């Protein structure tokens, strides 16, 4: 089996999901520095895909990174969708906590309790699509940055 950039993206995405599940199983807080290991794997996977074509032109190198990070972004979007679909109670707790905070400051922002309640309902309705969209944007942006950096570095080092 040939490990092309798409397959490297698949391997990278699966490793990221497995690490995410391990951290979730170990109940690591979401603000823990260990969460950044997922991004380390992501960056390493993109560099792996790009580096395999070292010596090629920038466009070829970028294409390899692109193929990798698009696959990872799709895997992470699917993981995010499944995670939030399976954790509706967590979403409800988050929205309720936010609603309670807004009720405390409602007078400061000229908001009525009915407006805040309606906002909570709207947030619940669109929570999963917003989180999936945020995940896609985040992984595509990081993927572009890492790919341009890796491809640029390799293509510049080829000229020296």
pLDDT, residue 1, reads: 74
Q: Could you tell me if 34 and 23 are in contact, meaning their C-beta atoms sit under 8 angstroms apart? A: yes
Q: Which one-letter DSSP state was computed for residue 33? A: G
pLDDT at 78: 98
Contact 119, 100 (CB under 8 A): no
Contact 18, 37 (CB under 8 A): no
Q: Count the domains in the chain.
A: 1
pLDDT tens over the chain, length 160 residues = 789 999 999 999 999 999 999 999 999 887 889 989 999 999 999 999 999 998 899 999 999 999 999 999 999 999 999 999 998 898 999 999 999 888 888 777 788 888 888 999 999 999 999 999 999 999 999 999 999 999 999 998 866 5
The distance in angstroms from the start CA to the end CA of the chain is: 34
pLDDT given for residue 158 in this prediction: 66
Q: What is the DSSP string of 74-87?
A: HHHHHHHHHHHHHT
- Structural domain harbouring 124: 5-159
Using a cut of 0.75, tell me whether the model's pTM lies above it.
yes
- Please report which residue ranges of the chain form alpha helices under DSSP H: 5-25, 36-51, 58-86, 88-104, 113-159
Query: Which position has the token pair 């950039």?
Result: 5
pLDDT, residue 160, reads 58
């Amino acid at each position: 089996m040939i490990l092309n950039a798409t397959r490297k993206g698949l391997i990278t995405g699966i490793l990221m999901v497995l690490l995410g599940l391990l951290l979730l199983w170990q109940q690591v807080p979401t603000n823990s520095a260990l969460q950044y290991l997922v991004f380390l794997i992501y960056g390493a996977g993109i560099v792996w895909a790009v580096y395999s074509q070292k010596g090629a032109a920038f466009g070829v190198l970028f294409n390899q990174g692109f193929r990798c990070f698009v696959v990872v972004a799709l895997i992470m979007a699917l993981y995010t969708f499944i995670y939030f679909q399976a954790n509706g109670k967590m979403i409800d707790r988050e929205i309720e906590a936010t609603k309670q905070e807004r009720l405390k400051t409602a007078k400061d922002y000229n908001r009525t309790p009915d407006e805040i309640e309606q906002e909570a309902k709207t947030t619940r309705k669109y929570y999963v699509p917003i989180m999936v969209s945020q995940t896609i944007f985040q992984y595509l942006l990081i993927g572009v940055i890492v790919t341009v950096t890796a491809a640029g570095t390799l293509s510049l080092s080829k000229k020296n």
